[in-house]
Amino acid sequence: MRYEGGMKIVVLGAAGQLGRELCRVLPGEVIGMTRADADQTDTIALGRALNAARPRVVVNAAGWTQVDAAENEPGKAFAVNALAVRDLAVICRDLDAMVIHLSSDYVFGLDATRDAPYDEDDPPGPLNVYGTSKLAGENFLRAMWPKHFIIRTCGLYGDGGANFVEAMLKKIEVGTPPR
């Protein structure tokens, strides 16, 4: 998609580390939406919020990111990372809005012998509930709305918020070996 001045972009997950930064740096008219503005697990509220905003692009930086907790609460992980993405795809299809969806490298990992970096054409194989929920969201988006990009990231770090670098430093500080 070519940048056009004045393009309206909605960033879902605007209270998170990535969402805050995207709201700060994206061009055009950026509308940050937090869970309080548009809870992705409430399809009606999400639809109302996006219909009111009428964006050209929706960046989905929202998600259940608690990898370990997803094993004990798979329903919550799938509600946010899969079913909410399915509903977002339908809403954006109806609005004719491009979706940029943030996913995870946790959709990979099943091949324990692999020693090469992954690329977008490699078949996924998640090892855990979190990765499976993220892959399900990707698959719903692919199936329901072709105007999308999926970005798989391995981790975020930066000022503010919980992130991998901060978590590892805290583990080291208290003498807990990282896994």
Catalytic residues: 130
Residue 54 CA to residue 178 CA, distance in Å, equals: 44
Amino acid at 168: M
Residue 148 CA to residue 128 CA, distance in Å, equals: 25
What DSSP element (H or E) covers 103? strand 98-104
Phi/psi of residue 146, each to 5°?
-70, -15
Q: Is 179 helix (H, G, I), strand (E, B) or coil?
A: coil
Residue 45 CA to residue 40 CA, distance in Å, equals: 8
Q: Could you give the C-alpha distances from 145 to 21, 84, 85, 86, 149, in angstroms and in order?
A: 26, 14, 11, 9, 10
Residue 162 CA to residue 105 CA, distance in Å, equals: 18
